Amino acid sequence: MDFAHVDIWIFDLDNTLYPPEMALFPQIEARMTAYVMRLLQVEQDHADHLRRDYWRRHGTTLAGLMAEHAIDPVAYLAEVHDIDFTALQPAPDLARAIRALPGRKLIHTNADSTYAAKVLAARDLDLFEAIYGVEETGFRPKPAPEAFQAVIAQAGIDPRRAAFFEDDPRNLKVPHSLGMRTVLVGQGRDGPDLIAGGTDHGPHVHHRTDDLTGFLEKIAATT
């Protein structure tokens, strides 16, 4: 599976370390839309359109709001992540599979690290060396190259020895360019982002899995 050289395992958080069916992100999206409605005094449909447009053009809704409206990111993150976590369930099999991987395990998320810690606690996945949230990257989100470089510098890692697990295909382009093994978890954010007429997300995606636990178990068995 081409992971024999890997001893640094970097995981995205939302819809990667829990399945989309647990529906955490719809809560966050609703709160983001409400924030945009209040900030810009627009109707819900227009606010939802703007939220998605900022995500497409800037990487995250937050990055778009910062670039175009100079909002306070700390207050925004606290508001949109004030959600109900009871839908999350412990994941003992996933925890065992991650622990079995050789080397270092890190989180790199576009959310804030306080929120990420709550998600990991609810999933019983408190087993990562460090969480790198959007604050730790200077509020530069994936897929910006600066976001990945910030994590690489702070963690002191060689990207050629790393693997990156992510649910958004565009966030795997930079890891691929840096020499990481890349794994798309699930179908891809907002549905498959496939090349015309194909079933592949492109050369920047080395592997895709709908079963992260099973995929990691196979890696651990061969490394």
Is a pLDDT exceeding 60 seen at residue 55?
A: yes
Neighbours of 204 (CB within 10 A): 17
* pLDDT at position 192 over 70: no
Task: Supply the range of the domain harboring residue 172.
Answer: 8-19+89-222
Q: What is the pLDDT of residue 143?
A: 94
- For range 198-210, the mean pLDDT: 80
Domain C-terminal end among 52, 80, 108:
80
Whether residues 102 and 149 fall in one domain:
yes
60 near 134, Cβ under 8 Å?
yes
Look up residue 184 and give its two tokens: 């798309």
What digits encode the pLDDT tens for the residues 73-121? 999 999 999 999 999 999 999 999 999 999 999 999 999 999 999 999 9
Same domain flag for 32 and 49: yes
In this prediction, residue 1 has a pLDDT band, given cuts at 50, 70 and 90, of: confident
Number of domains in the chain: 2
Which of these three, 39, 61, 80, is where a domain ends? 80
Per-residue pLDDT tens for 111-140? Answer: 999 999 999 999 999 999 999 999 999 999
The CB density around residue 75, as the number of other CB atoms within 10 Å, is 10
